[in-house]
Amino acid sequence: MSLFAFKMSLVLLLVLPNLLSCAISMASQLDHQADMLLDGRMTSGNLTELTSLDLSYGKWNGSIPDTLGMLVNLKKLDLWGNGFSGLIPSSLGNLTRLDYMDLSSNSLSGHVPHEIGMIHNLLTGPIPQELGNCFELSDLDLSRNNLSGTIPVTLAKLQELYNLNLSYNSLSGGTSFSVNTRVSLDHNMDTCGDPHYGLTPCHMAELDKTIKEEKTNKHIMALVLSFAFFCFICLVVLGCLTIVYRRKKISKVIDENKSQGMVSIWNFDGKIAFEDILDATECFDEKYCIGVGGYGSVFRAELQGGSIYAIKLLHSTEDYTDEKAFHAEIQVLTKVRHRCIVKLYGYCSHSKCKFLVYDLIERGSLASNLQEEQLANELDWTKRIAIVGSSSLLLAP
């Protein structure tokens, strides 16, 4: 039988196994010629003595059969340049005598099985530590994949490893290899190792990593401080705008009062001014209100000197008769001086604002003291008679 006829019979055994009635049990090598194009799905037989299987650059498609793991004596497996897809069968881990395997230029996907590792497809995940158990492995090419994680230290145990190509992945870390191993780790993330292979020493890589982390931390700190400073500036600007707004508001009220004939009476030392009252009450803000009556609301005003006054803001009215009566009563009150009457320091009469400036009586009026039991007990009959006597002198003609 010629060599060509022998090879064609083996091809028929792989493609059409059901048409053959015998099996080859002692085949030692099956080489596939570069000009030999095969089409269809790959099958396998019980070629237990086969040591070399080369089906590269054919048109095989589908998935790699699990039964390839039965070829326990196989030393060479070359499926390069085909259309194989799907997962890598874990049964290939049974090929313990394998020293060369090429599955590159296919469409394999998924994770690398723990039993074996492959090349140049779309493989993801870490390189399995179990590859370090392939002691006879001489060539390992896992380049141009999406492998990640650290390079397994178990690869350093492969003393027979001659070529190791892990370039164009997302690997990190480093390890030491045999001096006879040619290593390629180009285009990875943070790999390091022996400078003999053109790699950065690991201690330098760690130093570079530390420097990068410090720079990153400094950048983060700078951003945080910049943001904090920006917030502080915003608060300062907001505070300044608030102060300016309040002053403009007070100035506007003062200008309106001056233009409309505001009348005020100062206290005996001349220190109470209209502007001070508006500033102390923040233009009569509700938080300073201490009482509400039928004629108006009472506000507590503490001036810069520490003096405290009661400002009675009268309800607005447009009745001209009430306006004249108000002025007449004010003229009388400013002339009254008696210890039983709360002292009136001044007033403001304006079409938009009318208020009286009194001494603030912290303990309240006689009526409020008599309504509370504790305060009423402190106000004994001797004090009550004295109050009645003083009031009668005030009412006497």
Q: Which residues are annotated as a binding site?
A: 312
Three-class DSSP category at 193: coil
Angle in degrees, 0-180, between the axes of helices 274-281 and 202-259, rounded to the nearest 10: 140
Dist CA 282 CA 288 (whole Å):
9
Q: In the chain, how long is the greatest CA-to-CA distance?
A: 155
Distance CA 359, CA 365 (A): 12
The two tokens of residue 93 are: 């881990």
HSE-CB at 387 with a 13 A cutoff on CA atoms is: 12
Contact in structure between 110 and 124 (CB atoms under 8 Å): yes
d(CA 132, CA 115): 11
Residues with Cβ within 8 Å of residue 183, at least 6 apart in sequence: 164, 166, 177, 193, 197, 199
C-alpha to C-alpha distance for 341 and 339, rounded to whole angstroms: 6
CA dist 81 and 259 (Å) reads 98
Residues annotated within the binding site for ATP are 312
Terminal-residue alpha carbon distance, the chain: 155
* Tokens (6 digits) for 277: 């009252």
Please tell me whether residue 54 adopts helix, strand or coil conformation.
strand
Q: Which residues contact 201 (CB under 8 A, 6 or more apart)?
A: 192, 193, 194, 195
Q: Edge-to-edge, what's the strand order for the sheet holding 107-108? A: 39-41, 59-62, 83-86, 107-108
